[in-house]
């Protein structure tokens, strides 16, 4: 296995759209939300051990989740867990990981991925990652994986590619023309009809040299902040340096900071059964369903005349659902949620209201 290859897994989000299962103290990446016996983080780490050495996997997370990571990923060292003192979006956490990796291997190539995605065809996924890593190692470019869209989804960002411009040595890797944030339905339909748009997976591949050059050019302030820690990474002084750096670092995504500005961005169109698992509705699409279209977790759920529901209930609880169509029904700890799937965008507001009216312990 190539020892110059590293993986950075971003695992710091709270996942409020999966409330009440996903809570501040135990967010969705640490849950077995698919009922497979593995949490989303465990699945992600296992997947990447087929691509990079285990010791080259770094997990960026909130400091409050360090023990969760250590409990779920046996054998992981403290130096593999990058603890953020506060949330600053994806650009700072990637800059942090860059300098952490540079302190041990300046010749590294890196794949950056979220911790909470579904990948149904892992063999195809691994092939695509290896293809893009090879391209990143041979060329000064920034790569991402784009997912061939199956529907005009308004929940994803989109990447437009230039069909007549390819990466040297691989005609399947196309030059990126534009990035677009989540569009309205009409625009999403236009994107799908054009044939030159892909869903933005949020998975990035580059060499350490290429991404550092991009930060130096497009986000020199962030680059300089983390560069000042050279010599401190992987030492006892790292934690206090990072605490200070995050307190003054801007909050910005890697898309806005680098990808939308750089001129050497390329995309590989992929189809490996992907979902960013952002909502209960997206989870419903990937769960096994009964003859009435119900996706049920819970051994004692009795759906009388109910259909098209997603249900998550404790095994020990007998639950009778009569006449529901298209509902989310979830019980976790001391909270029961019953919500129409079509109204789940209200969950952010619901979580905010629960926090304000009932207290932070419920979120």
Residue 214, H or E segment = helix 208-218
**3-class secondary-structure state, position 268:** strand
What pLDDT does 182 receive? 87
Phi then psi for residue 315, to 5 deg, are -60, -35
> Could you give the CA distance from residue 92 to residue 299 in angstroms, rounded to a whole number?
43
Architecture of domain 5-275: Alpha-Beta Complex (3.90)
> Could you give the CA distance from residue 88 to residue 253 in angstroms, rounded to a whole number?
8
Which alpha helices (DSSP H) does the chain contain, by range?
A: 40-48, 66-72, 90-102, 122-138, 185-194, 208-218, 220-227, 238-248, 254, 280-286, 347-358
> Could you give the CA distance from residue 69 to residue 276 in angstroms, rounded to a whole number?
20
Length in residues, the chain:
363
Query: Angle, nearest 10°, between helix axes 220-227 and 238-248?
Result: 160
**3-class secondary-structure state, position 322:** strand
DSSP assignments along 6-48, one per residue: EEEEE-----GGGTTTSBTTB-GGGS-TTSSSS-HHHHHHHHH
* 40 Cβ contact list (under 8 Å, min separation 6): 28, 29, 30, 31, 32, 33, 34, 115, 116, 117, 277
Give the residue among 204, 19, 54, 189 at the shortest CA–CA distance from 117: 204
Q: Quickly tell me which residue has 């990937």 as its tokens.
A: 286
Query: Angle, nearest 10°, between helix axes 220-227 and 208-218?
Result: 120
What phi-psi label fits residue 88: left (phi over 0), alpha (psi between -120 and 50 degrees) or beta?
Answer: alpha
Q: Quickly tell me which residue has 């979580």 as its tokens.
A: 351
What pLDDT does 44 receive? 97
pLDDT averages per 10-residue partition of the chain, 363 residues: 96 86 90 88 97 98 96 97 96 98 97 94 96 96 94 89 78 92 90 92 97 98 97 96 97 96 95 86 88 95 96 94 97 93 90 93 89
Q: Where are the domains of the chain?
A: 5-275, 283-362
What pLDDT does 175 receive? 95
> Could you give the CA distance from residue 114 to residue 116 in angstroms, rounded to a whole number?
6
What pLDDT does 34 receive? 81
Determine how β-strand 197-207 pairs with β-strand 158-167: antiparallel
**3-class secondary-structure state, position 59:** strand
Q: What is the Cα 199 distance to its own chain's centre?
A: 14
> Could you give the CA distance from residue 339 to residue 336 in angstroms, rounded to a whole number?
10
What pLDDT does 260 receive? 94
What pLDDT does 24 receive? 87
pTM: 0.91
What phi-psi label fits residue 151: left (phi over 0), alpha (psi between -120 and 50 degrees) or beta?
Answer: beta
Any bridge partners for residue 331, and if so which?
336
DSSP assignments along 261-300, one per residue: T-S-EEEEEE-S-EE---SHHHHHHHS---TTS-EEESTT
> Could you give the CA distance from residue 321 to residue 293 in angstroms, rounded to a whole number?
14
User: For residue 133, what are the CA distances in angstroms to 4, 51, 102, 138, 162?
Assistant: 11, 10, 17, 9, 21
Is the peptide bond between 20 and the residue preceding it cis, with omega within 30 degrees of 0? yes
What pLDDT does 146 receive? 95
Determine how β-strand 295-297 pairs with β-strand 335-340: unpaired
**3-class secondary-structure state, position 335:** strand
Give the residue among 323, 341, 238, 227 at the shortest CA–CA distance from 280: 341
């Amino acid at each position: 296995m190539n020892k110059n290859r590293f993986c950075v897994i971003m695992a710091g989000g709270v996942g409020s759209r999966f409330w009440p299962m996903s809570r501040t103290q135990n967010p969705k990446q640490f849950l077995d939300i698919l009922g497979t016996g593995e949490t989303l983080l465990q699945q992600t780490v296992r997947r990447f051990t087929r691509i990079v050495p285990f010791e080259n996997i770094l997990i960026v997370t909130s400091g409050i989740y360090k023990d969760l990571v250590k409990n779920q990923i046996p054998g992981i060292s403290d130096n593999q867990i990058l603890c953020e003192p506060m949330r600053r979006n994806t650009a700072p956490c990637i800059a942090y990981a860059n300098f952490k990796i540079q302190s041990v291997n300046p010749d590294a190539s890196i794949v950056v991925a979220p911790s909470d995605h579904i990948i149904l065809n892992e063999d195809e996924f691994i092939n695509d990652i290896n293809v893009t890593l090879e391209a990143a190692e041979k060329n000064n470019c920034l790569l991402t994986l784009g997912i061939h869209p199956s529907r005009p989804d308004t929940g994803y960002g989109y990447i437009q590619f230039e069909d007549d411009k390819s990466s040297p040595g691989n005609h399947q890797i196309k030059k990126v023309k534009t990035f677009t944030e989540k569009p309205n339905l009409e625009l999403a339909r236009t994107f799908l009809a054009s044939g030159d748009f892909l869903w933005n997976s949020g998975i990035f591949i580059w060499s350490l040299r290429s991404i550092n050059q991009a930060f130096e050019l497009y986000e020199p302030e962030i680059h300089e902040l983390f560069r000042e820690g050279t010599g401190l990474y992987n030492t006892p002084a790292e934690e206090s340096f990072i605490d200070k750096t995050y307190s003054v670092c801007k909050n910005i995504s890697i898309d806005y900071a680098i990808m939308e500005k750089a001129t050497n961005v390329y995309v590989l169109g992929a189809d490996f059964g992907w979902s960013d698992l952002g909502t209960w509705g997206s989870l419903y699409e990937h769960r096994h369903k009964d003859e009435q279209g119900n996706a049920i977790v819970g051994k004692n759920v009795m759906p009388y005349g109910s259909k098209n529901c997603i249900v998550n209930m404790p095994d020990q609880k007998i639950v009778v659902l009569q006449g529901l169509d298209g509902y989310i029904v979830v019980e976790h700890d001391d909270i029961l949620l019953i919500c129409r799937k079509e109204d789940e965008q209200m969950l952010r507001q619901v979580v905010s209201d629960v926090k304000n009216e009932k207290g932070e312990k419920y979120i």
